[in-house]
Structure 1
Amino acid sequence: MNQKVSSATRNVAIVGPYLSGKTTLLESLLFVTGAISRKGSIKDGNTVGDGAAEARDRQMTVEVSAASTQHQDIRFTFVDCPGSIEFAQETYNALIGVDAAVVVCEPVTDRVLTLAPLFKFLDDWEIPHLVFINKMDRLTCDGDGWGESYRAILDALKSVSTRPLIPHQYPIGQGEQLLGFIDLVTEQAFHYHSGAPADPVPLPESLKEQEHAARAEMLEALADFDDHLLEELLEEIEPPQEEIVQDLRMELGADLIVPVFIGVAEQDYGVRHLIDALVREAPTPETTAERRGLDMNSETAVAQVLKTYYTPQGGKLSLVRVWQGQLTDGIVLNGVRAGGLYRMLGQQQQSVSEAPAGEIVAIGRLEGIQTGQTLTNHSGNGTMEEAKAEALRPVYALAIAAENRKDEVKLSNALTKLLEEDPSLAWEQHGDTNEIILWGQGEIHLQVALDRLRRKYNLPMTTHLPRVPYKETIRKPTNSHGRYKHQSGGHGQFGDVYLDIKPVARGEGFSFSETIVGGVVPKQYIPGVEIGVREYLTHGPLGFPVVDVAVTLTNGSYHNVDSSEQAFKQAARLAMTEGMPKCEPVLLEPIMTILVCVPKDFTSKALQLITGRRGQILGYEGRSDWTGWDNVSGYLPQAEMHDFIIELRSLTMGVGFFNWQYDHLQEVPGKLAENVLATSGNGNGNGK
């Protein structure tokens, strides 16, 4: 098969914090390249991106959206990614499959910190990226004019990037008005015009000194990676523009530098120059494939799922990056026949017969295929697996139940599909509380998931906070006697047992033993005694499962005719019911180990947050792989964890995060234990 491999393709993710203007930038890119004839707006809910009802309800991106367009004979596929940290998994999954990313941000120094996790991910994966400072018309200019304000935002950006930021443009402003920019490669000045390309104008005399300084900074940064350019600068030789562009292309493609562009996407300012720069400087699919160790010319097709959708009309749709080979309509991938190939324009699909290596397309009806999975038409025994983004650990939970009890049978299947669309969700049927728990990345994240259950699967849910899986144990031992005797015609029921009940060390669990001598309880009935004890312990005197208890059968009696295993089980339950309240039962709560990650400026707030929730600090230290960040470790009661992530993000401009895992059970403090028992309706002392 002759493979169609072309460098006339670019796959570019549009990423950045919430409200930075990513979807507006996508709309402008599609408009100036002719993919759409009229721009939509977030307010009107008619943009190409954010087509899902859940996104339009909230006027925010909640899932990845792809859109293809043509510019200068280049096929662009833009992937608009969510900005909210609660939907970061969507962004990370998509970034794995692009050639470059445009990081969109606002010109506000105080908000630059919100870019830190995104820059970290891009640098860890060595994904080439550039910055587009959007909404430049809102840049607050100080007394020294636009230059100082622009320098301040660049310095702030440099503080959160491990790669050197290189300004590609310099703003031209008058008073509070943004007029245009200077291209630092060509030294050509431009004035913006609404609805039209920027006009070239003479370089303003008043900005020549600042422009020369900014250009010298750009060239010096490039020269750090190019000895020839360094020699030219040392000898004061003006490098050719072609050499500068080549350096920008090579060093951007190797993720060594981060070029910076400016504009106002809502007015299309700077957007045409941005896409022209992507044509000149962004890495081609060949560069990306080489970085991933793949051969685009291979006969073997290899693709990777970046996003899964369940659409009302067409069913399952998988957005994939074609890494090598070629996809054709009807191709069999991982044993599943493709049900159509499509280029995407938001919610619209354009059917295509083939997709060569380097493209991002959607494939219909790949049942059983998951987001992140590698697909191939290779029929050998070995499986191929491209690297994929690590799944984020859920940090926020709600207990859910179908409004209509009849819908409960549909819930499991709907949740399975929901998790295919969004792998950062998780669900479980909790073994202690019997609740269905839906886990996610935050409150909005779960509300979006619940909206999808209602809209897509007609499954409206009720929700409440998950119950804390409290346990109970005992402080002191006791001896107890239980006799069960029942007569109702024919054979009766008789069982008689003596039990020793005692506490054991925390974490040892439950143990049962017997010291029967002389056959006072026949061996065939002893298993019934253990069953009766275990059944009682599922609901102790405080109303919760009992742990860390040892029970020994020491004595008893039986009847030749009326005794049975069932009778001894009942006798054991009676003995436990009579004895356990005498053992000073106490309430236990689950304690989690947590690792909180925050910028150093917020470490003290993180410490206060943990201790303010009955937590215990174990220590804190610098995070080795995040410059300027700390790890804070500690214990936190599960009862205090529900909205922990919400407050942590509130205290850290949205960037703080934490990981957790269950560690141990710990006695609940007296007053709090009383409140728990009073509100639980348990603690009736009869084990029921």
Structure 2
Amino acid sequence: MARQCNIALIGSYNSGKTTLLDSILRLTQTINGKASSLLDSSPEARDRHMGTEINVAYAHWGELEVTLLDCPGSVELLQETLNALIGVDMAIVVCEPLSDRAFTLTPLFKCLDDWQIPHILFVNKMERSHDSFMDILAAYRQVSTRPLVPHQYPIWNGDDLLGYIDLVSEDAYHYHAGAAADLVPFPNALRTVEQAARAELLEALANYDDHLLEELLEDIAPPTSEIMADLRWELGADLIVPVFFGSAQTDYGVRPLLAALEREAPAAQETAARRQLAGDAPLAQVLKTFYLPQGGGKLSLVRVWQGTLTDGMSLNGVRIGGMYRALGHQLQSQNQATAGDIVLLARLEGIATGDTLSLDGQAAALPRAEQLKPVYALAITPTKRSDEVKLTTALQKLLEEDPALRWEHHGDTHEIILWGQGEIHLHIALDRLRRKYNLPMQTHLPRVPYKETIRRSTHNSHGRYKHQTGGHGQFGDVYLDIAPLSRGSGFQFAETIVGGVVPKQYIPGVEQGVREFLNHGPLGFPMVDLAVTLTNGSYHSVDSSEQAFRQAARLAMQAGIPQCEPQLLEPIMRVHVWVPKAFTAKVMQALTGRRGQVLGYDQKADWPGWEQIEAYLPQSEMHDFVVELRSITMGAGGFHWEFDHLQEVPEKLAAAILAAHSS
């Protein structure tokens, strides 16, 4: 009976994930030719020669039926990978044979280990390796909390990769282009290193098998069947990470990888049982949301955990409007999906990525993937003003497809700001707006929400508003005291009126006039951290009104604020940056070079070999900080931030800002 398994292909950009998938789909005779033309079918993917969203494929190999989720490799599209991983039974981590880049996989290994997702490591492009296999293994062991155990050992002829030794059976094979590897005599010159590698494998397995440990201590050669059984059980329990290698471009190493998956990959039912999701009631979770172009409708990629889903069934009060199996952009209609299946469901309106689906919508919510915080922003405006009306709806759909995006209408700058994980990420989103929704955008850097405050006080700032018309006139007369407050205090209004010189019904108009003035101070920005007190005034029994006193207050502020030495304030962010330890000094230098203040650094909890830096950084210096950080750390470093306080802008910089603002 066939075993079913859902597998995510993950790894760093340019590691060759899609090339490996090409090879798997060809060797399993799922397709003819290249799969990349089928899978990376979106214009955004073709334009960039890289995956930009989860792509789905399926294959059969022997007794194994697999659904494959090919995840983007760009660090800016990591949210897609995280969302996919919550619905799979195991992952293949694809990497290059570069010891000095092993640390770039730390975030992926951390996620896999936190979720206890079984995974194997496939070292691709092995023919280009300049390091020994054991050195490569040692480097990747530094970034995995699970033991990496070699399943194979390479056979070289100088710089040419000839084949491999299976460390379980101790059989040797030579690769052949377009054909399965041939069994060859064991290369005795490799006996010593092969035995050392095999010992590592057996010792790792023996850590979780007392019987195997006894055999090793007594120098009893364990049977192949026992080693295979241990590999399957310990992989399925996420206790070990078997390591394979090859060259997906030439299909080298892919057949033995498939054979190992057939023997050792955990079945979908085992994953459900481990998560205690083995009931009969229908239960599923959304891994990804798609909107088809030209109004083609909504599709939800769903993992079925329990029971059976049928086309037309209602989940969470929404009727399924179609059910499909996917091979890239090709959809095959089907009537039902059973536990373990990953399928596309049509027209689940109001259902979002990560949502749990059940018949009545009352099932306990399944855990969701970590939601990444945005680190890069662009202000956007429709090229055509007439498109402003439909922009909100399009942005909402865009965010449903890609939960790593955010948008806001900024209250101070009045800009529509699109937030994401980097420049590439936002440009992909803008391309989708243009192509899917016919909404081309103009972009610019978001304006920094500077504020103003005052340095000194002034007393009895006078404002009188007198306007005579044919009927009743307008009269309001006020005296205001204006004083600075400590940073972060905001705005305070008070009155000390005695004897009713300003009637109580007009005092709210005074406060409103003051607040209106503070929206746009003399330097051109909103004002904060000051107190205004209404101390005196006069009124006219016929001509006075709340409107007149509102205007008088504005005049008093206009007269008094310039005497209070206005100054420019900038928002300061508290940033938490995490990087491999080797890059800490360079990153701290980058922060101070951006007028940042480093507050300290320490080991990052549960991230061996990584450190976390805490610093203050002006918002004006943050726009492309993520670009520099990723450049320094080969894409591995990350950060999050929150607003902390406002701070005076240095005098020379303030002059430049004000000159640019007034131009």
Fold shared by both chains (TM-score > 0.5): yes
Query: Is 1:455 the counterpart of 2:455 in the alignment?
Result: no
Give the CA deviation at 1:621: 1.0
The aligned amino acid for 1:359 is D
Per-residue deviation at 1:211?
1.9
| Alpha-carbon distance in 1 for matches of 2:60, 2:297 | 28
Q: 2:321 aligns with which of 336, 339, 359?
A: 339
Q: Which residue of 1 aligns with 2:589?
A: 608
Aligned counterpart, 2:281: 300
1:361-376 alignment to 2 at 5 Å? 361-376=343-358
Deviations 1:230-271 (A, max 9, x none): 111111211111111110001001111110111111111111
- 1:102 counterpart = 2:92: yes
How many Å apart are 1:7 and its aligned residue?
Answer: 6.5
Distance 2:562 2:526 in 1: 14
2:183 maps to 1:193: no
The TM-score, its normalising length taken from structure 1, stands at: 0.94
Q: What is the identity percentage for the equivalent residue pairs of Structure 1 and Structure 2?
A: 66
The C-alpha deviation readout for 1:306-351, integer Å capped at 9, x for no partner, is 1111112641111111111111111111111111111111111111
Amino acid at match of 1:412: T
Indicate the SS of the match to 1:272.
helix
User: SS of the residue aligned with 2:343?
Assistant: strand
1:140 is displaced (CA, Å) by 2.2
Task: Identify which of 132, 140, 143 aligns with 1:160.
Answer: 143
One of 18, 26, 45 as aligned partner of 1:23: 18
AA aligned opposite 2:173:
F
1:488 deviates by 2.5
Aligned positions of 1:139-178 closer than 5 A: 139-140=129-130, 149-178=132-161
Q: Shift of the alpha carbon at 1:117?
A: 1.1
Aligned partner of 1:589 in structure 2 is 570
Residue 107 of structure 2: aligned partner: 117
SS of residue matched to 1:398: strand
In the alignment, is the contact (CA less than 8 A) between 1:326 and 1:357 conserved in 2?
yes
What residue in structure 2 maps to residue 270 of structure 1? Answer: 253
- The question of 1:11 aligning with 2:6 is answered yes
Once the two structures are superposed, residues 666-685 of structure 1 have per-residue CA deviations (whole angstroms, 9 ceiling, x without a partner) of 11111111111110118xxx
Do 1:471 and 1:545's aligned partners in 2 also have CA atoms closer than 8 Å? yes
Secondary structure of the 1:545 match is: coil
Counterpart residue type for residue 119 of structure 1: F
Shift of 1:198: 1.5
From 421, 442, 457, give the equivalent of 2:401: 421
Whether contact under 8 Å (2:142, 2:608) holds in the other structure is: no
Q: Any gaps of 5 or more consecutive residues in structure 1?
A: 1-5, 142-148, 683-688
Aligned counterpart, 1:633: 614
Quick one: which of 212, 221, 228 aligns to 2:211? 228
Q: CA deviation at 1:563?
A: 1.3
Alpha-carbon distance in structure 2 between the residues aligned to 1:554 and 1:366: 61
Q: For 2:632 and 2:23, how far apart are their aligned partners in 1?
A: 34
Describe the superposition over 1:170-214 as per-residue Cα deviations: whole angstroms up to 9, x where unpaired.
Answer: 111211111111111111111111122222222222222322222
Q: How far 1:73 sits from its partner (Å)?
A: 3.6
Once residues 329 and 497 of structure 2 are traced to their aligned partners in structure 1, the CA distance between those partners, rounded to angstroms, is 73
CA contact (8 A) 2:21 2:35 kept: no
- Whether the 8 Å CA contact 2:25–2:35 is kept in 1: the answer is no
Matches of 1:188 and 1:311, distance apart in 2: 49
Aligned match of 2:469 in 488, 491, 502? 488
Which aligned pairs between 1:421-440 and structure 2 lie closer than 5 A? 421-440=401-420
**Any conservation in 2 of the 1:27–1:49 contact (CA below 8 Å)?**
no
Listed one character per residue, the Cα deviations across residues 409-439 of structure 1 (whole Å, up to 9, x for unaligned) are 1111111111111101000000000000100
Q: Which residue of 1 aligns with 2:604?
A: 623
Residues 245-644 of structure 1 mapped to structure 2, 5 A cutoff: 245-295=228-278, 298-312=279-293, 314-378=296-360, 382-479=362-459, 480-644=461-625
In the alignment, the residues of structure 2 paired with residue 546 and residue 213 of structure 1 have an alpha-carbon distance, to the nearest angstrom, of: 71
- Matched residue type, 2:145: T
Counterpart Cα distance in 2 of 1:107 and 1:428: 42
SS of alignment partner, residue 500 of structure 1: strand
Structure-2 separation of matches of 1:491 and 1:312: 62
- CA separation in 2, counterparts of 1:629 and 1:214? 28
Measure the CA separation in 1 of the matches of 2:203 and 2:446: 57
Give the conservation status (yes or no) of the 8 Å contact 2:326–2:332. Answer: yes
The reply on whether 1:184 has 2:167 as its aligned counterpart is: yes
Distance (whole Å) between structure 1 residues aligned to residue 559 and residue 331 of structure 2? 70
8 Å CA contact retained: 2:479, 2:535? yes
Cα distance in structure 2, aligned partners of 1:394 and 1:238: 54
Give the Cα separation in 2 of the matches to 1:505 and 1:306.
Answer: 48
Q: Secondary structure, in 3 states, of the residue corresponding to 2:136? A: helix
Q: Give the aligned residue type for 2:656.
A: N
Q: Give the letter aligned to residue 30 of structure 2.
A: A
Deviations 1:464-521 (A, max 9, x none): 0000000000111112101111122121111111111111111111111111112211
Structure 1 residue 40: deviation in Å?
Answer: 4.6
The residue type paired with residue 533 of structure 2 is T
Match of 2:220? 237
Partner Cα distance (2:532, 2:288) in 1:
53
Q: CA–CA distance in 2 between the matches of 1:235 and 1:560?
A: 109
2:49 aligned residue (49, 53, 59): 59
Q: Is the 8 A contact 1:300 1:378 kept in 2?
A: no
More off after superposition, 439-448 vs 179-188? 179-188
Instruction: Give me the whole-angstrom Cα distance separating, in 1, the residues matched to 2:170 and 2:452.
Output: 75
Q: Secondary structure at the match of 1:280?
A: helix
SS at 1:260's partner residue?
Answer: strand
Whole-angstrom CA distance in 2 between matches of 1:60 and 1:530: 57
Q: Report if the CA contact (8 A) 1:180-1:189 is conserved.
A: yes
Q: Is this contact kept in 2: 1:172–1:181, CA < 8 A?
A: yes
| 1:206 aligned partner | 189
Equivalenced residue count is 661
Report deviation, 1:660: 0.6
1:334–1:377: 8 Å Cα contact kept in structure 2? yes
Q: Among 655, 658, 663, which residue is 1:677 paired with? A: 658
Distance 2:494 2:76 in 1: 50
Q: Check the 8 A contact 1:484/1:495 in 2, yes or no.
A: yes
CA deviation string 1:105-144 (max 9, x = no partner): 1111122121111111111111100011111111126xxx
Distance in 2 of aligned mates of 1:260 and 1:402: 50
Letter in 1 for 2:115: W
- Could you list the runs of 5+ residues in structure 2 that have no partner in the other structure? none
Match of 1:130 among 120, 130, 138: 120
Query: Distance in 2 between the 1:36 and 1:365 partners?
Result: 29
CA separation in 2, counterparts of 1:159 and 1:672?
45
Residue by residue over 1:519-563, the C-alpha shift from the partner in whole angstroms, topping out at 9 and shown as x without a partner, is: 211211111111111100000111110101111111111122211
Residue 428 of structure 1 aligns to a residue in which SS? strand
RMSD value, Cα = 1.3
Cα distance in 1 for partners of 2:352, 2:370 equals 14
d(CA) in 2 for partners of 1:201, 1:452: 52
1:307/1:318 contact within 8 Å kept: yes
CA distance in 2, matches of 1:52, 1:238: 53
- Of residues 643, 662, 681 in structure 1, which corresponds to 2:643? 662
